[in-house]
Structure 1
Amino acid sequence: MNAEKKREALQQRASYAREILEGRNLPELDALLDKITRFNELNPGLSEEKAVEALEGFERRLGAFEELNDGKLTAMDKVRIVRHPQRVSLKDILENVYDNYNEIGGQDEHSIDPGMVIARAYVTRRKGKKVINQPVMVVGQEKGHGEEFRNGGSIKPWGNYKALKYMEVAARENIPVHAYVNTPGSYPVEDFPGAAQQIAENIYEMCGLTVPVVAIFSEGGSGGAEAIGMADKRLMFSHGYYSVISPEGAAAIEGRIRPPQRASRELIEKCASAQQITAQDNLRNGYIDEIIQEPPLGARAESFDFYKTLRQRVIRATDEVALSVRGIRLLRGLAMRLYRKDPDIIVRWDLSERARHRLVQRRHKKYRRMAQHAFKDQRTMLEKLSAARSGFISNTYSVMRYGIVKPLQDRVARLVDEVTDEVHVVTGKLTSIGNRVKGLAGMGKSGDSQVEKELTGLSAPGKPAAIIETTREYISPQAKSDREVTCPHAAKRGCLDIWARDLFNDYGGVCPHCGYHFPMEYQWFLANVFDENSIVEFNENISAGNPTGFPNFDERIDAAKEKTGQQSSCVTFHAKLEGMRLTCGMLTAPFRGGSVGAAEGEKLIRALELAQKKHQPFLAYVHGTAGIRIQEGVNGLIQMPRVTMAVRNYIEAGGLYIVLYDTNSYAGPVASFLGCSPYQYAVRSSRLGFAGPGVIKETTGLDIPPDYHNCFRALSRGHIQGIWDRRDARKNLHQAFLTIGGRNLYYR
């Protein structure tokens, strides 16, 4: 390298360090950058050899500076590293980590979504004279280096669809998936299929992928990361971050700041640190398995030694996943020990049918173990023993009733049906011959006329069908106020003012003129939908906490508990609906906006597991949810794949899972364990989607129309399957359970 090229490379490197460490007083770096920039001016007439020698001295000084400051990086410094245009990109990795690759699903701007890159790649491995080419499907978000058409790695719904499509191709071809997560978050588009709905589908299907999945995190932003991040092994770059929301977004929420105002640098730094977003934080909390060490101040396109390290770690992770599910358990343990002694052993990545089944089971156990430290289990020892006893009894009954007795009953029933069909064929033939004989003899006319009358005549009025009761003894606090209420649509639709006691009592919070639904308390739903005295709550003492130690958040959680009388925003209970037994998980808006954290996720998982043991249908009633609780960081975010995994297990076992949305439902829960249900309904006037209007404005700069999240728009794009009047919820749920669940309610 000649002197001028070396000087330019050093100048770029020093400028990069200055940008990463912005806002700090670094006189040594500033002086070095000035000397490099003005090198030719300060050293006129210097020979090429002497110039290179002088620049090498600057390079050593710059290297020492980078080493020194690398250990002092804050969480926000690492955020700046992953956002920098010089950051290593997926195309760089494909070129330098894999031996050959072919991009599929479109290229660059000529793609369904240029931010999502898919490639069929090969890893060539040699052991002596033996050469093996192992195929792999690489999916990942691509920012490029300042390529605007890639939208900064912020993926639209069709980009996530593309990723899912080719992950499923990998499963059919029995080849591993390497998922590179490098996104600030998904683009909040509610056009078909909708951001939330597509992320939910991605997570649901990734739960059951029957090939090894290795995820490598650089920038893991919220639901965008989870869309391709569920994996058997999760690796993370040492200077990356993985978070429920960007530090700026967290600061805006904490400081209650609205555009065009901006949060202060101090508040942003504070939120970045408090959310525990770094690789080291996530390894300690158990949400990643390994850290891949980067060069000082982060890996860039020219970090060629880093590519070697990355290749070794990714191959090793894929090997370990394959070995962990292959063969007999005793031999698997022996193989793992031998592999650790000799990492050059070549492991085949294609799996047998049994190994693929074990892989999915192992993935479920992995996610089930996560976040156990992040909630408070305040149950007494007696309550825990009682819950264990109840679970054991339910499990034993389930095995006996549905594992032994029911298959035997089904076998006998099938045999009886087959014999009956054969008898019907014979008797039908004999009956036909008999009818002909009777016809010839002039017999049987009175009987025929009676049959004809029954088939063609009008039915006599009988006893009227029972009317499902829709009003119970629950008085809304809003009905106690002696005032008139104006409907929001009064100016447009001419609605008259209504007395509060009439509106929130007799009318169930529904405008009698236009049908607009005013928000009602979740207690109204409990009183008016389920059979009287049938609700039995469980796990009420699993309590929300502050696992990240977020500043001043303990007080806010305690205040929510005192105000609502709940330990979390999730209430789980057994109930009856027209005598039908079911299990319900309910998110309640009064508790921190119905936000979901580790406690809520754990309660929902336990409720789904219990419903599966008891063979009961499951209802998720969303009184309202603002998304994942940002103060819990990844402890909250990880509930998206965790609960979705539980939902998938329940549905795959034959469970009937119905979701009903009320008021406002946004973000992570809708983009995961709620949005993956095949049967979703909404109460009229509710709003649902991926991101609220304020978040969309902040992240995209776009002003959205007022009806953007309206439930009718969600219905039109297929997100939900129906819209109900609140007063008909009991009747409609009963009808849905009967028609969808059928006679057995649980098993399809």
Structure 2
Amino acid sequence: MSLEKQKTELQQRADYAREILADKDCPELDELMRRIVEYDPNAFDSEEASSHALKALQKRMETLEVSLDARLSAMDKVRIVRHPQRVSLKDILENVYDNYNEIGGQDEHSIDPGLVIARAYVTRRKGKTIINQPVMVVGQEKGHGEEFRNGGSIKPWGNYKALKYMKVAAREQIPIHAYVNTPGSYPVEDFPGAAQQIAENIYEMCGLNVPIIAIFSEGGSGGAEAIGMADKRLMLSHGYYSVISPEGAAAIEGRIRPPQRASQELIERCAIHQRITAQDNLANGYIDEIVQEPPLGARAEHFDFYRQLREQVIHATDEVTLSVRSMRFLRGLSMRLFKRDADVIVRWNLTERARERLLDRRFKKYRALARHAYEDKRTFWERVNAARSGVISTTYAAIAYGIVKPTQQRFTRIAEEVTDEVHVVTGKLGSAWHGILKKIGLGSKSKQVEMELTGLSEPKKSMPETNGRGYVSPQAAIDREVSCPFSDRRGCLDIWARDLFTDYAGVCPNCGHHFPMEYQWYLHNVFDTGSILEFNRNISAGNPTNFPDFDERVQAAKQKNNMESGCMTFNTSLEGIRLTCAMLVAKFRGGSVGAAEGEKFIRALELAQKKHQPFLAYIHGTAGIRIQEGVNGLIQMPRVTMAVRRYIDAGGLYIVLYDTNSYAGPLASFLGCSPYQYAVRSSRIGFAGPGVIKETTGVDIPPDYHNCYKALSRGHIQGVWDRRDIRKNLHQAFLTIGGRNLYYR
């Protein structure tokens, strides 16, 4: 290679380092860059002297890269994963796998060029034995500055494509390797909707019975979770995994409104305090292993990195496979003792029993996450009582639903079959007999019987409408008239606050506009009087990342709302139907979800499963995942969805009801995966708020973009209810959706 070309490459390395450090002072790098620019191959007496001087500069660059790498901040690593020279999925496919064939479209000719799918092969040689093992590779692709890939920000139909081929992998019984490299999902609600598709991806991945290995480079929020649910999670050493970008966190913390920008200092602080690096995530247990990169991050020309990545990905797939195999002792022992140097043969196909164990281990893995991130303030006796209640419920369910009910159903089926057979004979005889009676004048029916058969049925007595009588909103105490915001357009008359928030339940009597109501209104007017029994109240929200000044804000929310977290879980009844409910309260930190809220939601689902009760998620409002908790909050998306999947698979009936504003992570996971979702007319539903969409896409959305009727029209929800009809509609939903068995199949 010519000296001029070597100088150019050296200069590119120096420029890259400067771009990673941004505006930070680094005198030694600036001095080296000056020397590289001043280097002239023709200024030396001989070619040997010129080459020696260049090698000295190269050696100095290598030493400086190692030194800078050790001092990288969290935000420096964010800049590394976003850099156009960062290793891409196509680079990995070319250098990690032995052969691959891209499917589902290529480059611009794809429904979403940012999402790449490939059917790949790994060829392994053990002595004279050669094994060709197929694998499905799914991942976000940024390319190297290719604009059509949208920076790896995936649209809903791209996530649909990923799910489609992950299901193909499960059908063909081959492992899935998911490469996560996205700043976040593209926040549009065009069908199938960003939130709805991510929720479906997470829900379905919970049940894919093949080994899934996820490799994180840039793990941005819900976009990462769309393909990040895995049995084993690896992370590149210079990557990051976060609930929101540092810039987004800084904008929220600093209350910055466009077109203003948060200061670089605030962005750097948020990056540090959110604990987003690979090392932070490994310490918290959200990834299983770190893949070490070259100094200042892996780029396309780092071939040693590809070899190491290949070894760790294969080893991870071997580990997951062996962990559920019945015959694995010697190979498992060898892999534990010798790590990746173990010379063992592991075939990646699984038996049916092994696939069941795989799903069970996956559930246990996610169930155990984030337990350090909330405070359990329950007393000793509260814990004992909860354990006792769980044992009693489990025992009762085992007897009632495991022994009595199947026996009863078996005898019922036999009796029905016998009755249906007898009807074939008695029906014909009965028709002939009634014909004879009619001919001799003895077959006329009484007037009462005739009316029962041919007359109109009497309407049943409707359920009493309380409309706020069980709870008086503080808004009713204001001695003034209230104007409907649509009065100019719809001609609504002013109404006295006392009447509006009592008799009319906060609903305009002219146009039906819903004024906001407190969550207590629903507790007193939807469920049977005196039937609410709260549990796990003392599982408390905390500050697991030690985010500055956040302890005081959480404590203030607790005192203001007399709650320990933004989630309330309780057993209750509705027209005599016993059910379990989890409620996200908008007044507590916007109804945002952190580790405590996720844990309470999971425990409520587990209790509903033990008691064989239907489950209602009432969302008074949610702003998304609590950003100050970092990945401790983000991990609740797959974690709670896994619990929902387990509950539904066991036969549970899961209904979600939205009110006010419901956005982001919860909607894109454990709420959006419900097959039965409804909304009160006051609700606004979407993946991201208008400000985030504007900042991310540059598009101004219409005022009604998140209107609940828009969500209904694209199939996200199944109905829009008037607040005054919630009790009646919920009762009807439980009866009609649950049918004769009500809650459990």
2:219 equivalent in structure 1: 220
Quick one: structure 1 residues 470 and 734, their matched pair in 2 at CA, closer, same or farther if it must change by over 3 Å? Answer: farther
Query: Which stretch of structure 1 is more off in the superposition, 540-549 or 122-131?
Result: 122-131
Aligned counterpart for 1:442 among listed residues 440, 448, 471? 440
Give the direction of change, closer, same or farther, for the CA distance of 1:517–1:46 in structure 2 (3 Å limit): farther
Residues 356-391 of structure 1 deviation map (CA, whole Å, 9 limit, x = unaligned): 111011000000000000000000001000000000
Q: Does 1:514 pair with 2:511? A: yes
CA deviations over 1:552-575 (Å, ceiling 9, x no partner): 000000000010000000000001
Per the alignment, residue 286 of structure 1 pairs with: 285
Distance 2:443 2:17 in 1: 102
Letter matched to residue 724 of structure 1: W
Task: Name stretches of at least 5 consecutive residues in structure 2 with no aligned partner.
Answer: none
Amino acid aligned to 1:712: Y
State the shift of 1:56 in Å. 1.6
What residue number does 2:10 align with? 10
Q: Which residue of 1 aligns with 2:242?
A: 243
1:7: Cα distance to partner? Answer: 1.1
Shift of 1:43: 4.4
SS at match of 1:505: coil
* 1:287-316 superposed Cα distances (whole Å, 9 cap, x missing partner): 000000000010011111000000000000
Identity %: 75
Deviation at 1:447, TM superposition (A): 3.8
Question: Is the contact between residue 584 and residue 622 of structure 2 (CA under 8 Å) also seen in structure 1?
Answer: yes
Report the counterpart of residue 24 of structure 1 in structure 2: 24
- 2:38 aligned partner, one-letter code: R
- Asked if structure 2 preserves the Cα contact closer than 8 Å seen for 1:2 and 1:48, the reply is no
Q: In structure 1, what is the equivalent of residue 565 of structure 2? A: 568
For residues 210 and 18 of structure 2, the distance between their equivalents in structure 1, rounded to whole angstroms, comes to: 43
Deviations 1:325-378 (A, max 9, x none): 011xxx444431023346231211111111111101100000000000000000
Matches within 5 A, 1:377-416: 377-416=376-415
Evaluate the alpha carbon distance shift between residue 389 and residue 453 of structure 1 in structure 2; reply closer, same or farther with a 3 A threshold. closer
What corresponds to 1:611 in structure 2?
Answer: 608
> Of the candidates 521, 531, 534, which is equivalent to residue 531 of structure 2?
534
Deviation string for 1:37-72 (max 9, x for gaps)? 3323x7436655543332221111000001111111
Q: Among 702, 705, 725, which residue is 2:702 paired with?
A: 705
User: Cα 1:406–1:60, aligned 2, differ >3 Å: closer, same or farther?
Assistant: same
Provide the rounded CA distance (Å) in 2 between the counterparts of 1:146 and 1:334: 47
Aligned to 1:339: 335
- CA spacing shift, 1:455–1:592, aligned 2, 3 Å: same
User: Structure 1's 512 and 449: CA in aligned 2 closer, same or farther, altered over 3 A?
Assistant: closer
Q: What SS does structure 2 have at the residue aligned with 1:586?
A: strand
Moved more, 639-648 or 426-435: 426-435
Residue identity opposite 1:575 in structure 2: T
Matched, 1:675 2:672: yes
Q: Which deviates further from its counterpart, 565-574 or 484-493?
A: 484-493
Q: 1:458 to 1:731 in 2, by over 3 A?
A: closer
Query: 1:118 & 1:506 partners in 2: Cα distance?
Result: 57
> Quick one: which amino acid aligns to residue 20 of structure 2?
I
User: One-letter code of the match for 1:76?
Assistant: M
CA distance in 2, matches of 1:513, 1:46: 94
- How far residue 445 of structure 1 moved from its aligned partner, in angstroms, is 3.5
CA–CA separation in structure 1 for the residues paired with 2:347 and 2:110: 33
* 1:692 counterpart residue number: 689
- Asked if the contact 2:393/2:610 (under 8 Å) is kept, the reply is yes
Q: Which residue of 1 aligns with 2:634?
A: 637
State the alpha-carbon separation in 2 of the partners of residues 703 and 264 from structure 1: 25
- What is the one-letter code of the residue matched to 1:158? W
Residue 731 of structure 2 corresponds to residue 734 of structure 1: yes
Structure 1 residue ranges without an equivalent (≥5): none
On the 8 A contact 1:235/1:291 being kept in 2, the answer is yes
Q: What secondary structure sits across from 1:475 in the alignment?
A: coil
| Length-normalised TM-score, structure 1 | 0.97
Aligned to 2:34: 34
C-alpha distance after superposition, 1:184-218 (max 9, x if no partner):
00000011111000000000000001000000000
In 2: Cα distance, 1:667 partner to 1:97 partner? 35
Q: Is the CA contact 1:316–1:343 (under 8 Å) kept in the aligned structure 2?
A: no
Report the counterpart of residue 487 of structure 2 in structure 1.
Answer: 490
Deviation string, structure 1 residues 125-163 (Cα, Å, up to 9, x no partner): 001121111000000000000000000000000000000
Q: CA–CA distance in 2 between the matches of 1:462 and 1:111?
A: 56
Check the 8 A contact 2:437/2:443 in 1, yes or no: no
Q: Structure 1 pair 505/594, CA: closer, same or farther in 2 (3 Å)?
A: same
Measured in 1, the distance between the counterparts of 2:706 and 2:257 equals 20
Instruction: Indicate whether 1:745 and 2:742 are aligned.
Output: yes
- 1:59-78 equivalent positions in 2, closer than 5 A: 59-78=58-77
Change (3 A) 1:534 1:158: same
* TM-aligned CA deviation for residue 34 of structure 1: 2.1
Higher deviation after alignment, 448-457 or 286-295 = 448-457
Task: Please tell me the residue identity of whatever aligns with 2:32.
Answer: L
Kindly state the Cα deviation for residue 468 of structure 1 after the two structures are TM-superposed: 4.9
Please give the alpha-carbon distance, in whole angstroms, between the structure 1 residues aligned to 2:292 and 2:153: 25
TM-score (norm 2): 0.97
Structure 1 counterpart of 2:128:
129
What is the CA–CA distance in structure 2 between the aligned matches of 1:206 and 1:547, rounded to whole Å? Answer: 28
Inter-CA distance 465–266: structure 2 relative to 1 (3 Å threshold)? closer
Does residue 1:305 correspond to 2:304, yes or no?
yes
Kindly tell me: are residues 504 and 43 of structure 1, through their superposed partners in 2, closer, same or farther at Cα, counting changes over 3 Å?
farther
1:67-466 correspondence to structure 2 within 5 Å: 67-327=66-326, 331-340=327-336, 341=338, 343-435=342-434, 437-438=436-437, 442-447=440-445, 454-458=452-456, 464-466=461-463
Matched with 1:543 is 540
Contact 2:476 2:500 in 1 (8 A): yes
Letter in 2 for 1:475: V
- Residues 443 and 152 (structure 1), Cα distance of their counterparts in 2 relative to 1, 3 Å cut: same
SS at match of 2:295: coil
Note closer, same or farther for the CA distance 1:421–1:729 as it changes in structure 2 (3 Å cut). Answer: same
Deviations 1:84-119 (A, max 9, x none): 100000000000000000111100011000000000
1:722 to 719, 722, 725: 719
Query: Aligned equivalents of 1:506 and 1:425: distance in 2?
Result: 57
Change (3 A) 1:513 1:438: closer
- Could you tell me whether the CA contact under 8 Å between 1:587 and 1:594 is conserved in 2? yes
1:623 aligned residue: 620
User: How many angstroms apart in 2 are the aligned matches of 1:474 and 1:432?
Assistant: 59
Cα shift readout 1:669-689 (whole Å, capped 9, x = no counterpart): 000000000000000031010
| Cα deviation, residue 469, structure 1 | 4.3
Summarize the Cα distance change of 1:463–1:638 in structure 2 as closer, same or farther, 3 Å threshold: closer
RMSD (Å) for aligned C-alpha atoms: 1.6
The 1:457–1:570 alpha-carbon spacing in structure 2 relative to 1, beyond 3 Å, is: closer
Are the counterparts in 1 of residues 467 and 504 from structure 2 also a CA contact under 8 Å?
A: no
Matches of 2:385 and 2:714 in 1, distance apart?
45
State the SS of the aligned residue for 1:645. helix
State the one-letter code of the partner of 1:336.
Answer: G
CA distance 1:22–1:89, change in 2 (3 Å): same
Q: What is the alpha-carbon distance in structure 2 between the residues aligned to residue 709 and residue 47 of structure 1?
A: 71
Q: How far off is 1:721 after superposition? A: 0.4
CA drift at 1:482:
1.3
The amino acid across from 1:623 in the alignment is: H
